[in-house]
Amino acid sequence: MKPIGLHTINNEAYLHHYRLADLAQTYQTPLYVMDEAQIRKAIQEFKIYFKSEAFDTTVVYASKAFFTKEFARLIAEEGLYMDAVSLGDLYVAQQAHFPFERLVFHGNNKSIEELDFAISHQVGYIVVDNLYELNHLAQLINRKQKKISILIRVNPGIDAHTHEYIQTAQFTSKFGESIFDEHQMKSLLEVCLASPWIELKGFHAHIGSQIHEPDAYVEEIKKMVEFQNHISRQYQLDLPILNLGGGFGIQYQQEEKNIAIPEMMRILIQALEVAIQTTHSAIRQVMIEPGRAIVGPAGITLYKASQIKTTFGQKNYLFIDGGMTDNIRPALYHAVYECDIANKMTQPKEILVDIVGKCCESGDIIRKDVMIPRIDENDIVIVYATGAYNYSMSSNYNHLLKPAVILVGEEIRVLSRRETLDDLCKLF
């Protein structure tokens, strides 16, 4: 999927009025480029279509998909909530002056230090993963005597068809407590009820990532509304908030089936309205947490090509100046990316290659078996749909430098500068 600002003039790729080859030259490669218009469009779609007359709706941007200080400011300016999953996330959010009342703090193993920071800075919600954590939170909050709103993360047991590493809601998942584990629920509820400082607002579930089937969400909604109603009645509790998590899939390849944000949101809203109204549920606010769908399609990565190496076994490798350090997803999830040559957009594709990086790993493949035009040294390779979980999962393996990230809008903003060799020695 290409960002909306991408177009071709005379065989050359442009993002809005910037020639990609020029950007590569100015900011060096590899380079992450984000299309601001595409990001704002996705955010608008969530804001417009995730709306109901029957309940309030809240869009929480899942920052793990892509997060820098400047980007947190954009999210704040758009009026979205944002999640955080570590002390590092909380700290960067604080440095960005992100309003903490709009933060949702996640994590399956939050440390005391993290909980303390979250409470001291009054995050909007803590999503409690388990009893062990809840006990720590209760002790801390009882000492501090500050009110905190929490949601409890539960696992509704839904098999969303996605890669096993990004499934989260089977019965063996490490996240949350099962909605079918009554004993565990009772223990959790007892801790909440015993503390005057803990305000249990509802439940949270997240059924996985890169999900294209609305059915999985409809099932999640039915199960979660029913579950929340049940707990609310059993314990005589007002539980106004339901958080459905994120996971909305994007199109990495043209032939991949995909459901656009407006359509997916319409289905969710309809299922929620039916479930909430027919069960006379007390749920008054529903949250969703999209990450990938907001930033994924907006991002592209630019690399410089060096040569095509043909092995004795007649395999062609196109070597590029980045690799698994800036995009671990093909190695980790067998993700498949589409690509082009920025300065040869309309040239015939004649050679079958694997596009590979420069790391000391045979698995350092960015794209397997792809047809490309004839290559000259310093041609610029574009890899599409890299806006989510590329920069945020990048590493310094082999001491490669993390690329810069630029946001292309009316003007260009550097969201993260390119690392320098000195950065590599900061820690030792």
Residues that bind ligand LLP (CB under 6 A): 62, 64-65, 106, 166, 206, 209-210, 245-248, 289-293, 329, 333, 388-389, 393
Of 287 and 380, CB closest to ligand LLP: 287
> What is the closest distance, in whole angstroms, from the C-beta atom of residue 296 to ligand LLP in the complex?
8
- Quick one: which of 227, 281, 72, 240 has its CA closest to 150? 240
Chain centre to alpha carbon of residue 131: 26
Of 180 and 333, CB closest to ligand LLP: 333
Of 212 and 304, CB closest to ligand LLP: 212
Of 30 and 208, CB closest to ligand LLP: 208
- Quick one: which of 154, 149, 158, 175 has its CA closest to 240? 149
User: Which helix (H) or strand (E) is 189 found in, with range?
Assistant: helix 182-194
Of 248 and 384, CB closest to ligand LLP: 248
> What is the closest distance, in whole angstroms, from the C-beta atom of residue 209 to ligand LLP in the complex?
3
Tokens representing residue 376 in the block: 């000259």
Of 3 and 291, CB closest to ligand LLP: 291
User: Which helix (H) or strand (E) is 125 found in, with range?
Assistant: strand 125-128
> What is the closest distance, in whole angstroms, from the C-beta atom of residue 329 to ligand LLP in the complex?
5
Residues 6+ apart with CB under 8 A from 92: 67, 68, 69, 72
Give CA separation, 334 vs 233, 363, 381, 418, in Å: 45, 10, 20, 27
**Using an 8 Å Cβ cutoff, are 249 and 212 in contact?**
yes
> What is the closest distance, in whole angstroms, from the C-beta atom of residue 332 to ligand LLP in the complex?
7
> What is the closest distance, in whole angstroms, from the C-beta atom of residue 25 to ligand LLP in the complex?
29
Q: What is the torsional sign of CA 281, 286, 292, 298?
A: positive
Residue 401 DSSP one-character state: P
User: Using CA atoms in the order 90, 93, 97, 101, what is the torsion angle rounded to 10 degrees?
Assistant: -60
> What is the closest distance, in whole angstroms, from the C-beta atom of residue 245 to ligand LLP in the complex?
4
Residue 127 DSSP one-character state: E
**Catalytic (active site) residue 192:** no
Tokens representing residue 251 in the block: 């199109």
> What is the closest distance, in whole angstroms, from the C-beta atom of residue 277 to ligand LLP in the complex?
26
Catalytic residue among 192, 339, 360, 425: 360
Give CA separation, 134 vs 83, 94, 149, 156, 332, in Å: 19, 24, 12, 19, 32
CA distance 392 to 389: 5
**Using an 8 Å Cβ cutoff, are 318 and 89 in contact?**
no
Of 201 and 292, CB closest to ligand LLP: 292
Active-site residue set: 360
